[in-house]
């Protein structure tokens, strides 16, 4: 099963769905696809589209998925990384009216450099990206959250 996460910002993000649907029509993608669409209004005979999925159910879907295709939002990417999933991440672009700025490009660039995700830039061919993900082995993500918390606690104790 492929899980697609478009984010929940109140701007539509149809660009990746159109490209994924093309590969479905050609028979290249045959998997069951579930889309958390947020505020993106899109219907397709190839996708099960759900606007908002409750957090517990979303965690279950991530666990069950073989691939997560997601907007380059921190929460979505980290949720899939923590479950060691293969991830294709695509940034929402300001100039395409998909977001309020281009901050998602920073995450896309950094996480792809570190080997966590396969980036999908607006000029990229999805078929090439899809073939690349088949052999991609993501590096394991190790959260620094505990380290940061301990650092802050130690600092406070010294005050």
**How many domains is the chain built from?**
1
pLDDT of residue 146: 67
| Terminal-to-terminal C-alpha distance of the chain | 51
Tokens of 66: 């073989």
Residues 6+ apart with CB under 8 A from 110: none
Helix (H, G, I), strand (E, B) or coil at 5: strand
pLDDT of residue 70: 98
We report the CATH number of the domain holding residue 126 as 3.40.50.2000
- Is the pTM higher than 0.85? The answer reads yes
Residues 6+ apart with CB under 8 A from 147: none
pLDDT of residue 156: 83
Which residues form the domain of 60? 2-158
Q: What is the pLDDT of residues 17-64, one digit of tens each?
A: 999 999 999 999 999 999 999 999 999 999 999 999 999 999 999 999
């Amino acid at each position: 099963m492929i899980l697609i996460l478009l984010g929940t910002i109140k701007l539509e993000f149809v660009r990746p769905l159109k490209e994924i649907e093309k590969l479905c029509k050609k028979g290249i993608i045959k998997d069951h696809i579930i889309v958390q669409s947020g505020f993106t209004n899109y219907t397709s005979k190839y996708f099960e589209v759900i606007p908002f999925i409750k957090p517990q159910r979303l965690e279950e879907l991530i666990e069950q998925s073989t691939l997560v295709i997601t907007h380059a939002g921190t929460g979505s990417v980290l949720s899939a990384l923590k479950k060691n999933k293969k991830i294709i991440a695509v940034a929402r672009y300001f100039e395409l009216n998909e977001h309020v700025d281009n901050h998602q490009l920073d995450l896309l660039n950094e996480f792809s450099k570190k080997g966590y995700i396969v980036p999908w830039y607006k000029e990229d061919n999805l078929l090439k990206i899809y073939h690349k993900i088949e052999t991609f082995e993501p590096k394991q993500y190790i959260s620094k959250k505990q380290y940061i918390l301990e650092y802050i606690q130690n600092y406070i104790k010294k005050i």
